[in-house]
Chains A and B, each alone.
Chain A
């Protein structure tokens, strides 16, 4: 079986598991919403202030939500030792990892589709005219978050205190991603919105570097 077909089957399995219970997605959206609401008490959400702080708050909320949401991705497989069954399947290691990455990407994107409009309403920012450019930036940023996060979720699943360990490992690695996403989003929320090509290219570079690294290291990551 080729890798893309195997990854698609795994993706379908992940989606089926999630949409039977829908617990992960609901909890993620509500958690990110709580973070956004808490920020509105910590900062004055007038439009001028929001233009300065808004992109940072938005991405911090995404990163926090993501680092919590990615934890069950592999930890969930441990309850019934289902990862062993996945390993036995005649598919490449990267197919397993890619299936999970795609599933996490979809969950994260769904959460963001709910969050971004609410954020714009709460912080009085206009999305008119920048939607597609914002989609590009958010997609690239989310991809980087999900690629590194899924790998680290496979690492932390074997450790003690894994709920705490995953953010601890993941957030420092995501520093460049946070900077680039915030800068790119800030230039979209400014008074004269424009897409910042350098930061977008940087985000794409981040995704490529870590996707390549995951592809090279996935067999070590998933071995017994």
Chain B
């Protein structure tokens, strides 16, 4: 089990290094934006990976309410944290590209706004979890909030789409007339695969950590209850 984890970590590390090399040196230069365009190779994958993580949160929330098995709750919090982290990469890399190309750091376009609200929604989901004490209640209530948050995402997107946008339309995966060099598409696919694998790896690790934390918490409660039970027994003996 441990060797498998180490092997998986090394494999993902190699994949991330390879995709970094490919994005910087193999992908051809873009005609108008030049070097700054290379940020796309991490910006676009961060969106798809974080969205996958949030979809895992949604699925875990529903699974928890349906089965009441604690592992779904632990998976939910792990995926939400990883999703927020990767979403932050997308939110940070976007402005660094936008400033030289658009001349502004930020615009309130449907995609930007939706991602930003998504990020806020899952941060408030994580804050909620910190503020609830009882573990079972925490799991149930945060699952409800998680489901509401996920239902909100398409509505945020739709409500923002009615405004004019500056964000470029998807170029890769478009038709052959989109003008992208096939090498660019290949590098992007490699980067998507590597960021996705990184997401899955970190998610699994975070889940394992959360499970250990949960087990520790249960043991601690058991020890405490036994301890206080023993104390009570002792004091009653002393009284006699």
Contact = CB atoms under 8 A, between A and B. Distances in A.
Nearest to B153: A176
A159 B152 CA distance: 22
Contacts of A206: 155
B141 A158 contact: yes
Q: Size range of the interface on A?
A: 20 to 34
Interface in A172-224: 172-173, 175-176, 179-180, 183, 198, 202, 205-206, 209-210, 213, 217, 220-221, 223
Contacts of B137: 158
24 contacts: A155-B128, A155-B144, A158-B134, A158-B141, A159-B128, A159-B132, A160-B133, A165-B128, A165-B131, A168-B124, A169-B128, A169-B145, A172-B120, A172-B152, A175-B152, A175-B156, A176-B152, A176-B158, A180-B159, A202-B155, A206-B155, A213-B147, A220-B143, A221-B141
Which one of B133, B145, B147, B159 has the highest number of Cβ atoms from chain A below 10 Å of its Cβ?
Answer: B159
A145 to B, nearest CB: 13
Contacts of A217: 65, 144, 147
Those 3 A-B pairs whose CB atoms lie nearest each other, nearest first: A176-B155, A176-B159, A159-B131
Nearest to B121: A172
B123 to A, nearest CB: 9
Given A159-B131, A180-B159, A151 B124 contact: no
Contacts of A151: 144, 148
Nearest to A198: B162
A155 B141 contact: yes
Interface string B110-121: 000100010011
Nearest to A144: B155
B127 interface: yes
Interface of B: 65, 113, 117, 120-121, 124, 127-128, 131-134, 137, 140-141, 143-145, 147-149, 151-152, 155-156, 158-160, 162
B128 A220 contact: no
A158 B144 CA distance: 14
Contacts of A168: 124, 127
Contacts of B158: 176, 202
A67 interface: no
Contact of A173 (B65, B132, B152, B162): B152
Nearest to A212: B151
A161 interface: yes
A180 B155 CA distance: 10
Contacts of A210: 148, 151
B33 to A, nearest CB: 31
Contact of B145 (A152, A162, A176): A152
Contacts of B145: 152, 155, 169
A176 B155 CA distance: 6
Nearest to A167: B124
Contacts of A148: 148
B56 to A, nearest CB: 19
Given A169-B124, A217-B65, A221-B141, A209 B151 contact: yes
